[in-house]
Structure 1
Amino acid sequence: MVVNARRLSEWLRTESGSAALLVAVTIVALLWANSAIGDSYTELWHTELGIVFGEHDFEMSLHHWINDGLMVVFFFVIGLEVRQEFAVGSLRDRRRAMVPLVAGVIGVIVPAAIYLAIAGRDAVDGWGVVVGTDTAFLLGALAIVGPRMSNQLRIFLLTLTVVDDFLAVSIIGVVYTEDLQIVPLLIAVAGLVGLWLLSRTSEWRSAPYVILVIVVWAATLASGVHPSLAGMAAGLLVPARPTERGHVESAKTLFRDYWQSPQATVARTARRGLARSISVNQRLHDVLRAPVSLFVVPVFALANAGIYLGGGVLGEAFTSTITWGVIVGLVIGKFAGIGLGTWLAIRAGLGRLPDGVGPGSVLGGAALSGIGFTVSLLIIGLAFTDGDDAAKATVGVLAAMVLATALGWTIFSRARVKWGETSADLPVTLDPPVDVTSDHIRGPADAPLTVVEFMDFECPFCARTTGMWKDVHAHFGDRVRYIVRHLPIHEYHPHAFLAATAAEAAARQGKFWEMHDILFANQAELEAEHLLAYAEQLELDMNRFVIDLESEEVATLIVANEESANVSGARGTPTFFLNGRRHRGPHDARTLIAALEAGSETESAARRRS
């Protein structure tokens, strides 16, 4: 029972699991609202809850606490994700970001225009219902109906939904704001300025950011502006940065202190050092991601999806322009808008599709973007004061979920058969395979287990720097061999290519691994004069070394390694291939050892079956 509960918990944390949870909660809400005890559903969410401070009180219905309180955490997490994308993700590269950026903008405009064309006379304020995409549902549906491997498409769609969510939240904050109160609004702005100033300092603790976010939320709520905008804005102001090797080394030293002296004060210092090595943004996102997907959004769905469908409501809905405006706006509008935006961006030369992603996969993802749910239900509560109109719009959102998923499944199936798009991801197989005559190998050449690393001599997290390979070799001994191939990251590591030529020049005198180790031990000193000094230290023939260092043949070897990385799906360093398959996820020694052992057991089982 404990094992099954653990497996269920792990599955719910996956994208398909969280989507299934939302579907289940939505069904529960509908059944509850339409059951014999349906009145209790309405009564529960209208229960008044409040906080009292002396003569002052802060009171709202449970429904408002969820929509204006809990959901702020949801939008705060979206803001954190957007900031991460700009700092270390796909939005950092302008050319990679332009196609989903344009597609996201047009994917908001077209659905709104379609809704207004169909339902504008009856409920003009409802156009905001069709502008947003539910990221959790989208990724869950992609995991179920999309290609088996779709990581590159997933990144494309995530970037697109970042734009989509940002515009949707901005619309909520600007369009659906009433009774604006200036003083609380100024306090909220001051809180946001405080967050910005805090982000400009070296403050690494989470508490000051969290306190300011709470102040901004309360002030925004009192101002009349919907607090979702405050959540998004606050998340955007929490700093994100790449992990720096120096901070990791410092944390390692602190943990060594604790290992030698396991006392409470030393443990607290070590925890602080570990926290300091990771950006505030990443830490808050990691803490909040699971509660948001497993609690906040399901509770929101439970409170908002339960509409009464009796008394002819369902029949009236499907004859209403509001319902059809929502359905056509979400299903056709999102599909057409994102598809058109992608085509226009590529045609204008603003960017290109991610490697491994075909047009059929993009159209399938565009279809799934018609799943509005979370943002759509939130806007329904703001846009419609008439309960019947709100019910009609909610029916439209729920119907659009089903239709958009079916359309996405149909397009993915068609793309698989007609265009051969069986994957929407980078290649995962090492190409070319290991060649014992040309690759640099540590360990027995015929070892049954193989670790290949695409590395860069300036990469602070490659295996020689982290010591990962030593632990793997200590565990497997002569059962494993280690191969490195060059992948200099020219944009960020200007000396990496020259360092790679030095290693290959040393290889021509039988000293590749010796030069490899020296280069990693001196990553900050990789200028030409340093490389010559290292060659002298290894007692190489200097004339031959200089000739090889400048030879076109040696440069060609490194370019061949870069081409191997490209066709094998390696886009950064370090990238590991275990027994010829690209490894995903953490690349610490314990994880790689477990992956190698799992792969070895799978191969042994396959041989026994044959």
Structure 2
Amino acid sequence: MGHSRHVQPSAIRRFLESQSSAGLVLMGAAVLALMVANSPLGPNYETILHAYVGPLSVGHWINDALMAVFFLFVGMEIKREMLDGQLSTWSRRILPGIAAAGGMMVPALVYLVFNRGPTAAGWAIPAATDIAFALGVIALLGNRVPASLRVFLAALAIIDDLGAVMIIAVFYTAKLSIPDLAGAAVALMVLIGLNRFGVLRLTPYLLVGAILWVLVFRSGIHATLAGVVLAFTIPMQCTPGRPDNDSDSPLHRLEHALNLPVGFLVVPIFGLANAGVPVLTLPAEALVAPVTLGVALGLLIGKITGVFGFSMLAVRLGLADMPAHAGKRQLLGVALLCGIGFTMSIFITLLAFPGSQLLQAEAKLGVLAGSFLSGLLGYLLLRSVTSGRPKANTGL
């Protein structure tokens, strides 16, 4: 890896540490949701999610509004890393980029092996990696995983998130309302104008961003994408007259402000609201339904095949180098962790099967099973590497 700018090591270290801790909290939220949904409290859990607060149900407020904040945070991460971070040069983008491409294509193909017709709409469910969950597992391993592989996983997951955002925008958009879409375009122009005229206060961006969210929500495009669009318009330049410190830019200030709320509140609440699959009341055939198998095997088999296979092919063809101090076995373990697809996979499930609770339950079951097995096997494989500082490029 080349030398990075003076702020980068601390920035990426803070990012990895906060995401690791948030992943552990998310694990707890997912387990709690499963326990509640399969207990006598299950009906109350469903009642709360379907209760209306104003114009939307609690579930919709979480999945449409609260998750827009998550997508705003993800969008800022993508922008920062592309402009001034681990994805700022082509040499840094090549290996995680190729790995992310394989990690999205192969799981989708595995899913489609099991699903035709209406259920084929869920092809993108196993294509996403949950960075917080994956880094949470890595946090349990201490120094057994080289820092270069943590950065590789973070970069891969950020590219993966960008791909998932594009998939949602292109493939999971309902019929469009042209007037609202036109209004959203005007709001976007205002945001771009604020950026072009050098407005560095966050308040105008957030106010116009809230209007953008309402218009996008009404337009038929999923409202959370307003968060990504807003993120891309927030400036990274610093306030004139102050030291050239990246942490002073509007984007860095907002990202820092949202870091803990997103990791320890927004995503766990989403997990609590959506991981509660009533497994005990599902018909037995749901365990081996095409959707369940497609999602679970897409995450477990598709991710490791796509991420590890494409990475090794890139290295052998001389397109990229192996991450520093990492061997094939460790790369294989990280590829397994990429099969943890919790947050974005469940989110896409809601978009793929909006009218069927059974298909949603099957897909969520597949997400939980595939993610659990991928995380467990990845953890065990990485734990089996005895040295904290393995030799570079060791064989299997």
TM-score, normalisation: structure 2: 0.88
Q: Name the amino acid aligned to 1:306.
A: G
The Cα shift of 1:148 comes to 3.6
Structure 1 SS opposite 2:199: coil
Written as runs of structure 1 = structure 2, the 5 A alignment for 1:202-217 is 202-217=198-213
Identity %: 37
**Hey, what does 2:322 align to over in structure 1?**
353
CA–CA distance in structure 1, aligned partners of residues 383 and 247 of structure 2: 44
Deviations 1:146-193 (CA, angstroms, capped at 9, x unpaired): 644532211111111111011111111221111211111122222223
TM-score, normalisation: structure 1: 0.58
**Hey, what does 1:567 align to over in structure 2?**
none
Which of 364, 371, 374 pairs up with 2:340? 371
- Residue 183 (str. 1) matches residue 179 (str. 2): yes
The Cα shift of 1:237 comes to 2.4
**Hey, what does 2:372 align to over in structure 1?**
402
CA contact (8 A) 1:240 1:282 kept: yes
Q: Name the amino acid aligned to 1:247.
A: R
**Hey, what does 1:328 align to over in structure 2?**
297
Which of 47, 50, 55 pairs up with 1:43? 47
CA contact (8 A) 2:247 2:253 kept: no
Written as runs of structure 1 = structure 2, the 5 A alignment for 1:156-171 is 156-171=152-167
CA contact (8 A) 2:144 2:383 kept: no
Change (3 A) 1:133 1:277: closer
- Residue 310 (str. 1) matches residue 280 (str. 2): yes
CA contact (8 A) 2:87 2:155 kept: yes
Structure 1 SS opposite 2:87: helix
- Residue 86 (str. 1) matches residue 56 (str. 2): no
CA–CA distance in structure 2, aligned partners of residues 277 and 283 of structure 1: 6
CA–CA distance in structure 1, aligned partners of residues 179 and 328 of structure 2: 50
Written as runs of structure 1 = structure 2, the 5 A alignment for 1:420-431 is 422-423=389-390
CA–CA distance in structure 2, aligned partners of residues 389 and 411 of structure 1: 32
Say which one has the larger Rg.
1
Deviations 1:184-205 (CA, angstroms, capped at 9, x unpaired): 1122222223222322232211
CA–CA distance in structure 1, aligned partners of residues 114 and 389 of structure 2: 37
**Hey, what does 1:298 align to over in structure 2?**
268
Q: CA RMSD in A?
A: 2.4
CA contact (8 A) 1:244 1:277 kept: no
Deviations 1:493-535 (CA, angstroms, capped at 9, x unpaired): xxxxxxxxxxxxxxxxxxxxxxxxxxxxxxxxxxxxxxxxxxx
CA contact (8 A) 1:146 1:412 kept: no
Which of 120, 134, 148 pairs up with 1:152? 148
The Cα shift of 1:424 comes to 9.3
The Cα shift of 1:14 comes to 4.2
CA contact (8 A) 1:361 1:424 kept: no
Change (3 A) 1:129 1:88: same
Which of 375, 381, 384 pairs up with 2:350? 381
Deviations 1:310-364 (CA, angstroms, capped at 9, x unpaired): 2353x32322121111111011111111112212333343332332233322221
Deviations 1:272-297 (CA, angstroms, capped at 9, x unpaired): xx9x9711110000000100011111
Change (3 A) 1:165 1:185: same
The Cα shift of 1:69 comes to 0.4
Which of 25, 36, 42 pairs up with 2:29? 25
Unaligned runs of 5+ in 2: 1-16
Deviations 1:219-266 (CA, angstroms, capped at 9, x unpaired): 11010101222212221222225x6996228xxxxxxxxxxxxxxxxx
Unaligned runs of 5+ in 1: 1-12, 51-58, 250-273, 426-610
The answer to which structure has the higher strand fraction is 1
**Hey, what does 2:168 align to over in structure 1?**
172
The Cα shift of 1:45 comes to 0.8
